[in-house]
């Protein structure tokens, strides 16, 4: 995956990458930048808008997960 992926794999791979990095405590701005750099390796690259949407979706899920853990 680090070498990029092809069409049909980009969105799921982007979601997996974002989730993995966020769950491992990587700062949000760094995760976003890494996703943009990773996307450049894709063939073809995904649109920035799709990468942003995927990033924000996974970030929202991760924040919700963390909030749930604090209440437990």
Q: pLDDT by residue for the chain (72 residues), tens digit each?
A: 778 999 999 999 999 999 999 999 999 999 999 999 999 999 999 999 999 999 999 999 999 988 887 765
Instruction: In whole angstroms, give the CA distance from residue 68 to residue 72.
Output: 7
For residue 50, being part of any structural domain is answered with: yes
Q: Could you give the number of structural domains in the chain?
A: 1
pLDDT in the model for residue 48: 97
pLDDT in the model for residue 71: 63
For residue 16, being part of any structural domain is answered with: yes
For residue 4, being part of any structural domain is answered with: no
For residue 48, being part of any structural domain is answered with: yes
Neighbours of 49 (CB within 10 A): 8
Where does 1-72 show beta strands of DSSP type E?
none
Q: What residues make up the domain containing 28?
A: 10-71
Instruction: In whole angstroms, give the CA distance from residue 20 to residue 9.
Output: 16
Instruction: In whole angstroms, give the CA distance from residue 62 to residue 42.
Output: 25
For residue 23, being part of any structural domain is answered with: yes
Give this prediction's pTM.
Answer: 0.88
pLDDT in the model for residue 72: 55
């Amino acid at each position: 995956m680090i070498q990029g992926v092809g069409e049909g794999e980009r969105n799921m791979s982007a979601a997996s990458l974002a989730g993995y990095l966020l769950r491992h405590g990587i700062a949000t701005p760094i995760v976003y930048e890494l996703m943009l750099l990773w996307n450049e390796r894709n063939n073809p690259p995904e649109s920035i808008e799709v990468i942003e949407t995927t990033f924000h979706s996974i970030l929202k899920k991760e924040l919700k997960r963390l909030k749930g853990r604090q209440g437990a």
